[in-house]
Amino acid sequence: MSESRPEARNMPARPGAVVRSMREQRGWTLADVSARTGLSVSTLSKVENGKMSLTYDKLYRISKGLDIDIGQLFAAESASTAAGVAAPRGFSGRRSVSRSGEGSVIDTPNYGHVYPATELLSKQMVPIFGQPKARTLEEFGELLRHSGEEFSVVLEGAVVFHTELYAPVLLQVGDSVYFDSSMGHAYLRVGDGPCRVLTVCSDAASLAAAGYPPPAAEPQVMRAAALAEPAAGVSPQAGPRPRPRKR
């Protein structure tokens, strides 16, 4: 008999409740939080009362304004965690397994988001499973932008990827894009079938402060020619050719 797989849990995130709890713990008003995040008082009020869902860029701005890890916005129990969480150093050995479809859910007009591994704080990257909804820029509205860099790969369907500096590009299953996410961008779905994108966001400043990537003594470059089949008469096991001596 095959072992039954545990049922995946898909939990709606309530970042507004966390924002309210932290604001009250610190004795701040909505105006104080507005000054720290750049979001309007009315927007923050809607967030706290569960009347507005947050895109990644707004979640990022709130976490930076409150000086907390973005993961603390996904669970009420995180609100009691100390605001200054030390980043793991060296070999931490931590791990998080998320089953298919499992994570904290935030639904916005343009995307359905599932955030896995939200119990891990001080992550050096933020993975997001996204389901684009809008099909036109008019429907999407203002382009999104946030600090750091972003990598996305299409898992299902197809999207047209828009940025403010480049021409739109069609991305199909298996296609990916890596870009500066402070540049305005949008993923627009193509067709009526399922559409799903895996996105990984990084904060360049946080990664640099953590010393990533480590400096390399000499850049290692793999050239396309090195992947070509060996020429006739040349053994694939042969070592590199000796350099000619200077005369």
Query: What local confidence, expressed as pLDDT, does residue 82 receive?
Result: 36
Pair 143, 200 in one domain: yes
Chain segment 10-66, per-residue pLDDT in tens: 566 778 888 888 888 888 998 999 999 989 998 898 888 888 878 888 888 888 888
Q: Please answer whether residues 124 and 94 qualify as being in contact, where contact means their C-beta atoms are separated by less than 8 angstroms.
A: no
Query: Quick one: what percent of the chain has pLDDT higher than 70?
Result: 70
16: in domain: yes
21: in domain: yes
Q: Please answer whether residues 133 and 192 qualify as being in contact, where contact means their C-beta atoms are separated by less than 8 angstroms.
A: no
Q: Please answer whether residues 102 and 9 qualify as being in contact, where contact means their C-beta atoms are separated by less than 8 angstroms.
A: yes
Q: Is residue 74 classed exposed, middle or buried when 0-12, 13-18 and 19+ CB atoms within 10 A define those classes?
A: buried
230: in domain: no
Query: What local confidence, expressed as pLDDT, does residue 213 receive?
Result: 55
Distance CA 118, CA 128 (A): 10
Q: Is residue 197 classed exposed, middle or buried when 0-12, 13-18 and 19+ CB atoms within 10 A define those classes?
A: buried
Beta bridge partners of residue 127, listed in sequence order: 200
Statement: residue 168 has pLDDT above 60 = yes
In Å, what is the CA distance from 83 to each residue of 19, 67, 137, 243? 12, 7, 38, 58
Pair 128, 205 in one domain: yes
Chain segment 88-147, per-residue pLDDT in tens: 445 567 788 888 888 888 888 899 999 898 888 778 888 999 999 999 999 999 999 888
Pair 136, 74 in one domain: no
Statement: residue 158 has pLDDT above 80 = yes
Average model confidence (pLDDT) for the chain? 77
Pair 73, 137 in one domain: no
Pair 69, 133 in one domain: no
Convert 100-111 to b/e letters by CB count within 10 Å (16 or more is b).
Answer: eebbbbbeeebb
96: in domain: no
Pair 205, 128 in one domain: yes
Pair 205, 134 in one domain: yes
Q: Domain ends where: 80, 107, 134?
A: 80
131: in domain: yes
Residue 49: give its domain's CATH number.
1.10.260.40
Statement: residue 179 has pLDDT above 90 = yes
Backbone angles phi, psi at 147, to 5 degrees: -65, 155
Domain count, the chain: 2
Residue 153: give its domain's CATH number.
2.60.120.10
Query: What local confidence, expressed as pLDDT, does residue 53 receive?
Result: 78
Query: What local confidence, expressed as pLDDT, does residue 6 receive?
Result: 42
238: in domain: no
Query: What local confidence, expressed as pLDDT, does residue 190 receive?
Result: 97
Q: Please answer whether residues 92 and 85 qualify as being in contact, where contact means their C-beta atoms are separated by less than 8 angstroms.
A: no
Query: What local confidence, expressed as pLDDT, does residue 95 receive?
Result: 85
Whole domain around residue 129: which residue ranges? 124-209
239: in domain: no
Pair 197, 141 in one domain: yes
Q: Please answer whether residues 118 and 103 qualify as being in contact, where contact means their C-beta atoms are separated by less than 8 angstroms.
A: yes
Chain segment 184-241, per-residue pLDDT in tens: 999 999 999 999 999 999 875 555 555 555 554 444 454 444 344 444 444 444 444 4
Pair 68, 142 in one domain: no
Query: What local confidence, expressed as pLDDT, does residue 214 receive?
Result: 53
> In 3D, which of 175, 173, 170 has the Cα closest to residue 151?
175
